[in-house]
Homo-oligomer: A and B are copies of this chain.
Amino acid sequence: MIKKIIFSTLLFTSCFVAADTESEIQKLKDTSQNSLLAYEIVASLTREVGPRIAGSEGDKKAVAWAEAKLQSLGFDKVYKQPVRVRNWSRGLADASILAPFEHQLVVTALGGSVATPDKGIVAEVVMVDSLEDLKTRSVEEIKDKIVFINKRMERDRAGRGYGPVVIGRSRGAIEAAMLEAQAVIIRSVGTAQSRFAHTGAMQYNPEVEKIPAGALSNADADTLEYMFSKQQPVKMHLNVQAKEHGWQTSYNVIGEITGSAKPEEIVLIAAHLDSWDEGTGALDDGAGVGIVTAAASLIKSTLGAAERTIRVVLYANEEFGLVGAKEYAKANAEELGQIIVAAESDFGAGKIYQLDTRFASDALPFVKELHKHLAPLGIAEGTNTATGGPDISMLPAKGVPVVSLRQDGTHYFDYHHTPNDTLDKIAPDDIQQNQTAYAVFTWLMANSAVDPRPAPALIK
C-alpha cells in the first residue's frame, strides 16, 4: 500500500506536472490575490446590464455585454451559440387575505406561471404541509380552492435544504390542478425571514390544466399560517398577470484561450448568463460569470496560454430548465469527448471549502496535486462523486469528467431569486478566493498531461 502511494506520487510528479508548476502557481495566486477582477465583472454586469431573464431586452444586452467583456479581457476567440428560448414576463402579482382578517401579502409569480383572470380570483385557502401532504388530499377538499404549500426550507452550508422544498415549487401546480384547485401558492423556497418572495421555475403537465402559481415571502407565509389558527375559513384574493411572449433567440457566449500544445483538448469552466428579473442576478449567477471569466483572463495575463484550450462558457437560460446547456450538449455532441474536465460556478460567491471530482481512477493521484495547491486557500479534499453544476450536469453521463468546487451556501438562499439578489451581497474577499481557486484549478488541469477521462458512471 505504502509502495503504491510512493509510486503514484512519483508518477504524477514526473508525468502530470511540468517542473516549473510551483512558481507558475505562485505567480498566479499572487496576481489573483491582488486583483478584484471577478468582483468588477459582476459589478459591471449587475449595474450596467441588470436583470436578464431569458429572451428579454436585458438578456440581449447581457449577451452583447458578455461578448464585449470577453473580448476586452484578452480571450483568443469569442463566439456565440444560438439558443431558442421562451420569453415569459412576470407582470403584476397581488395577494391579500380577505378573511378572517384583511391583510396584504407580498407575493410573486413562479417562473412560467399562467395568469389569473384580469381581476384575479377569490377563493378559500387550504393549507398543506408539503407536496407529499397535498398528494394525500381528495378532490372534494381541494376543488376550487387555492392550495397553500407551507413547507419551510432549512439553512445548510451545502444547500441540502433546497431539494426537499423545491419540489413543491416545481410540481405544486400540477398536483393542485389534478385535485381541481384554482391556484397554488407556496411558502418561498428561501432561508431568509424577510418580506421578499423567491421566484423560480415551475412546471406544467400537458395532460393537466394549467393553474396560476405564486410564492409568498416567508414573513407573509407566517401571516397566512396565523390566519388558520383562528378556526375560521381563510379567504384570499390572488391576481397574477404573468405573460408568455413566444420564442426569442438568446445565446451561449463562449470565450477561449487557445491551447499552445494541445488546442483540441478542452478545460471547460462555466456559469450562466441569464438571471431572474427582479434582482440583478449578482449571486445567481453574476458571481459565477465573474469567477470563471476572471480566472481564465488572469491565467492569460499572468502565464499566457496553457497547453490545453481553456473554454469559458456563459450559458443562456439556465433558469427555465438548462435550455442553453442542453443546446450546447447537442450542438457540440461530437466534441464532448475532447473535454478533459468541466466545472460550473453557480452557487453564489461564498468561499470554496471543498473540491469534489468525478475522475477516472487513473487520474486520482492528480487530485492530490490539485489539493496541494488548493489547501492553502482553505479548500479540503472531497469525494470522487461530483456531479458538477446544473449546466454541466448532463455531461458525466457522456463520460465527461466534472468537478465541484463547493461554495459555502449558508446565506445563498437568503437572497436567491429575489429582488434582493444584488451586488452588495458579495464580499470582495470571498469572490476573490473563488477566482484564485478557479484560476489554480484551471491552470493545473490545462497545463498538465493528466487525463481524467472517462468519468466514472453515475450510480443512481
Binds B, one of A72-80, A83-91, A419-427: A419-427
Q: Does B425 contact A193, Cβ atoms closer than 8 Å?
A: yes
A260 at the interface (CB under 8 A from B): no
Q: Does A47 contact B101, Cβ atoms closer than 8 Å?
A: yes
Report B-chain residues with C-beta under 8 Å of the C-beta of A422. Answer: 195, 219, 222-223
Which of these, B194, B219, B420, contacts A219 with CB under 8 Å?
Answer: B420
Assembled-state Cα–Cα distance A423/B225 (Å): 13
Report B-chain residues with C-beta under 8 Å of the C-beta of A279. Answer: 195
Assembled-state Cα–Cα distance A425/B102 (Å): 21
A121 at the interface (CB under 8 A from B): no
Assembled-state Cα–Cα distance A230/B178 (Å): 54
Which of these, B50, B104, B223, B420, contacts A195 with CB under 8 Å?
Answer: B420
A43 at the interface (CB under 8 A from B): yes
Assembled-state Cα–Cα distance A102/B65 (Å): 14
A218 at the interface (CB under 8 A from B): yes
Report B-chain residues with C-beta under 8 Å of the C-beta of A50. Answer: 101-104
List A185-221 residues whose CB lies under 8 Å from chain B: 193-196, 218-219
Q: Does B43 contact A424, Cβ atoms closer than 8 Å?
A: no
Q: Does B106 contact A43, Cβ atoms closer than 8 Å?
A: no
A335 at the interface (CB under 8 A from B): no
Q: Does B196 contact A195, Cβ atoms closer than 8 Å?
A: yes
Q: Does B219 contact A424, Cβ atoms closer than 8 Å?
A: yes
Q: Does A222 contact B103, Cβ atoms closer than 8 Å?
A: no
Report B-chain residues with C-beta under 8 Å of the C-beta of A195. Answer: 196, 279, 418-420, 422
Which of these, B222, B227, B418, B423, contacts A222 with CB under 8 Å?
Answer: B423
Contacts A/B (CB < 8 Å), 22 sampled: A47-B103, A48-B101, A50-B102, A50-B103, A50-B104, A51-B104, A106-B419, A193-B424, A193-B425, A194-B420, A195-B279, A195-B418, A195-B419, A195-B422, A218-B424, A219-B420, A219-B424, A222-B422, A222-B423, A222-B424, A223-B422, A223-B423
List A35-56 residues whose CB lies under 8 Å from chain B: 43, 47-51
Given A102-B50, A196-B195, A43 contacting B226 (CB threshold 8 A)? yes
- Within the complex, the shortest CB–CB distance from A316 to chain B, in Å, comes to 21
Assembled-state Cα–Cα distance A106/B196 (Å): 13
Report B-chain residues with C-beta under 8 Å of the C-beta of A194. Answer: 194, 420
Report B-chain residues with C-beta under 8 Å of the C-beta of A101. Answer: 47-50
Assembled-state Cα–Cα distance A106/B280 (Å): 12
Assembled-state Cα–Cα distance A227/B227 (Å): 45
- Within the complex, the shortest CB–CB distance from A198 to chain B, in Å, comes to 13
Report B-chain residues with C-beta under 8 Å of the C-beta of A103. Answer: 47, 50
Report B-chain residues with C-beta under 8 Å of the C-beta of A419. Answer: 106, 195
Report B-chain residues with C-beta under 8 Å of the C-beta of A227. Answer: 47
Digitize A103-119: 1 where CB-to-B-CB distance is under 8 Å, 0 elsewhere.
11010000000000000
Assembled-state Cα–Cα distance A192/B67 (Å): 35
Top 9 A-B pairs, shortest CB-CB distance: A219-B422, A195-B420, A193-B424, A48-B101, A195-B419, A219-B424, A47-B226, A47-B223, A50-B103
